[in-house]
Amino acid sequence: MSIALLTRLPAAEAARWRGLLEEALGEAIPAKPDPATVDIALVANPPAGSFEALPNLKFIQSLWAGVDSLLADASRPRNVPLARLIDPAMADTMAEAVAAYVLDLHRQGPLYRQQQAKRVWKQHLQPRPAERRIGILGMGAMGQRSAEVLRALGFTVSGWSRTGATVEGVTMQAGDDGLEALLTDTDILVNLLPLTKETRGLLDRLLFGQLPRGASVINFARGGHLVAADLLAALDDGHLDHAVLDVFETEPLPADDPLWRHAKVTLLPHVAASTDPRTAAAFVAANVRAWRAGEPVKGLVAAERGY
Ligand code: NAP
Ligand code: GLV
């Protein structure tokens, strides 16, 4: 049996992945395997219909943390287990990105950059980190590490998850009531949820209305969480102060999208926490070995839950 690497990554990037995965696995990943022999697929944004050609597939390992597009792929065999990527180095990178943009908002970066553009010398009161309430939606691998780093910086952190399981030093919430409680107590909202049927469109007019006036929003999860028109309305009417967006329903974001030129939007090209094959390969290899040995694999996705 053999392993297939299914990806639409540029050729050089795919070749780098292949080399690092082969090294971690200690075996070759054929560039053009006989489809009938493929029992394991390692996938990053696979070409449409990739799975249809693999009749003996037994295990799918995602090279990305988010598996929303894989779950939506009609060609994915429903009876084949799918594991997402859990790479502590990726969670560190996400926490670094969250800290960078929370600190920028906390230190009033957007306001001072606007003042600089107009050569305005004006000082504003600077709250302490403990006076700034950060609400994190999604307290999994990415959310928990981000909360840890934000707490170390002195911020007051709340989190929202499906189960509301305890996270040290974080006020945890769950359910609709818990979400409302978190939102009313949040100055900077950070979205790190998986995109599922429950979470699609969650960042909408209703949710923004539950945040205090002057709050800001960071979306580092998926574009499908955000109702962009509702965000633009909340920024324009002054209810929200600023938004930092890394992910979009259509990527690359079309050149004529109003988000590009909005003064209250900081826009990033899906770079909050890109997978680093140097660290991810070790997780992938360990999961492949576990699956082959009949041992539990990590990050197994529950399709009905959506993550
Ligand atoms: P994860 O470990 O699976 O954590 C998901 C978290 O979301 C869990 O805390 C889960 O609750 C919570 N959740 C799921 N559905 C919920 C619901 N309906 N209501 C409330 N909470 C819910 O995922 P992760 O590794 O942290 O990654 C999260 C997402 O980040 C990915 O799916 C991906 O979309 C995004 N991401 C983006 C980038 C980037 O570069 N922009 C990079 C990596 C990942 P429980 O704890 O109760 O299960
Ligand atoms: C990136 O967005 C990922 O889900 O890994």
Q: Model confidence over 193-245: pLDDT tens digits?
A: 999 999 999 999 999 999 999 999 999 999 999 999 999 999 999 999 999 99
Q: Does ligand 2 have an atom closer than 6 angstroms to the CB of 62?
A: no
CATH of the domain at 58: 3.40.50.720
**Contact at 8 Å (CB) between 80 and 53?**
no
Indicate whether 96 and 240 sit together in one domain: yes
- What is the CA(60)–ligand 1 centre distance, in A? 19
Residue 92: domain span = 88-267
Indicate whether 161 and 238 sit together in one domain: yes
How many domains does the chain contain in total? Answer: 2
CA distance 27 to 279: 18
Q: Does ligand 1 have an atom closer than 6 angstroms to the CB of 272?
A: yes
Asked, for residue 302, whether it belongs to a domain, the answer is no
Indicate whether 114 and 176 sit together in one domain: yes
Given 222, 261, 278, 305, the catalytic residue: 222
Helix (H) or strand (E) holding 134: strand 133-137
Q: Is 0.85 topped by the overall pTM?
A: yes
Indicate whether 239 and 117 sit together in one domain: yes
Q: Hey, what amino acid is at 24? A: A
Indicate whether 121 and 256 sit together in one domain: yes
Residue 107 has pLDDT above 90, yes or no: yes
pLDDT tens by residue, 85-103: 999 999 999 999 999 999 9
Indicate whether 188 and 224 sit together in one domain: yes
Asked, for residue 299, whether it belongs to a domain, the answer is no
Indicate whether 93 and 69 sit together in one domain: no
Indicate whether 150 and 187 sit together in one domain: yes
**Banded pLDDT at 186 (limits 50, 70, 90):** very high
Cα angle 213, 218, 222 (rounded to 5 degrees) comes to 130
Asked, for residue 283, whether it belongs to a domain, the answer is yes
Asked, for residue 307, whether it belongs to a domain, the answer is no
**Banded pLDDT at 48 (limits 50, 70, 90):** confident
Site to substitute for ligand 1 among 96, 193, 268, 300, most atoms within 8 A of C-beta: 193
